[in-house]
Amino acid sequence: MSYCDTNILTSFLSKDRLRKNFGLNGINRYKRISRFSSKSSEDSLKKLNGCVINRKALFEDIGGHEASMGATLTSIGLKDIKLTDVDGLEEGKKIYNDSCSISKEDSKFYKKFCKDKRLKIDLSENNLNDIRHFGTAIKLREQTFITDNKKDFIPLTKFTEMGVI
């Protein structure tokens, strides 16, 4: 099985889809949702036969972003999604720390996650969820990590055999 980042499960999000499924009530409830959805993420979800995702990270992502909840409600393509309580935050911190030690200081990855060639201590909840997602995939020994935000995960592939797609 593969591991899914939250953005893959919420890929069908758009005002048009909300309007189609929930009418004006859906649009009024989720005002921050844009009119466009992620085409690459939508394509990944359509090809997905199933995946596993960390329950805590998913719920925190949904709780922190109205758009994610709206997307979850409007995603009709969800199938064979398994929630897990395996928490890979510590494994994630280790691999992110390793990646920080070799990343270029002018890269987006470094600026977002690193300071002084080490993982930042004061990370936002969203960044911690990225770390938790990747660490959970490692802990579960998944072969692939599916995300629409590859730039935050590609540097980590130097330290694992897991592919990021």
Question: Which tens digit of pLDDT belongs to each residue from 17-54?
Answer: 667 766 777 677 766 666 666 667 667 766 777 788 88
CATH of the domain at 13: 3.40.50
122-130 average pLDDT score: 90
Number of domains in the chain: 1
Domain that holds residue 60: 1-165
The CA distance from 99 to 105, in Å, is: 11
Q: Is the pLDDT of residue 55 over 60?
A: yes
* Counts of helices then strands in the chain (DSSP H, E): 8, 7
The whole-number pLDDT of residue 122 equals 93
Share of the chain above pLDDT 90, in %: 36
